[in-house]
Amino acid sequence: MDKNFYAKKAKKKFEFCPVFKNSSVSPKKKFHHEKIFGLNQLFDIERDLLSPLGLPQYGIHANGWHKEKSEYFFHFALRSKKIKYFPNLYDNIFAGGQPSDLSIRKNLEKEAFEEAGIKILKKNLTRGNTISYIHNYSDQIHSGTIFIYDYKIEKNHILKNHDGEVQGFEIICVTELDKILEKKLLKPNCIIPIADFFLRNMRDFFPIKGILELKKLLRIK
């Protein structure tokens, strides 16, 4: 065994998440965003064990955006090259797993500051939909539920990462998003908050058939 094994384990920051009675294919989605998360859970488990055991996991994702005249622009975080999962890919402006004993709103504020140096202003924050998805990654089935928010980035606001998970930030016009999608440079589940943003703010950008298809994929009525 690696002689540094125990040292590495000691340094690891464990994050415990709740497990509810709902199944992975039909996870619980209704929560009060201001109350402690996981009050009615069956038990807590370390976050890294959720997917190997086929258990649903939860997280917050925020679209960073601003508008110039009639065009929307997205602010993306570029993930560190050293991060374990999805290194060097574009990510939503801030995101993170939802632990126990912390409200969704408090977790949002924590991740906003740690990942982008943002101190949340209520007037700039909009709550989106809660969307569940299932995908295969690294030979494991992942059941995820995302609490989506939008955060308007003020002009000349300087973003700054504090937790080492982000190497920089980029602004991309909505009409240019197809380029990073074609090159598979976007972290896979990050397209879900973006699609939700489109449905709530940019319906005119798509034909009716496209809107219906998006709603079907995201299971939004």
What pLDDT does 169 receive?
97
The DSSP line for the chain is: --TTHHHHHHHS---EEEE-SS-SSS------TTSBTTTT-SEEEEGGGTTTTT--EEEEEEEEEEEETTEEEEEEEEE-TT-SSSTT-EE-SEEEE--TTSBHHHHHHHHHHHHH-----GGGEEEEEEEEEEEEETTEEEEEEEEEEEEEPPTTPPP--SSSSEEEEEEEEGGGHHHHHHTT-B-GGGHHHHHHHHHHH-GGGS-HHHHHHHHHHHT--
Q: Kindly report the CATH number assigned to the domain that includes residue 109.
A: 3.90.79.10
Q: Is residue 3 part of a domain?
A: no
Per-residue pLDDT tens, the chain, 221 aa: give them. Answer: 344 433 343 345 678 999 998 888 888 999 999 999 988 899 999 998 988 888 899 999 999 999 999 899 999 999 999 998 899 999 999 999 999 989 999 999 999 999 999 999 999 999 999 999 987 766 777 889 999 999 999 988 999 999 999 999 999 999 999 999 999 999 999 999 999 999 898 877 766 766 666 676 676 76
Q: Is residue 8 part of a domain?
A: no
Domain residues for the domain of 49 are 13-218
Report the domain count for the chain. 1
Q: Is residue 4 part of a domain?
A: no
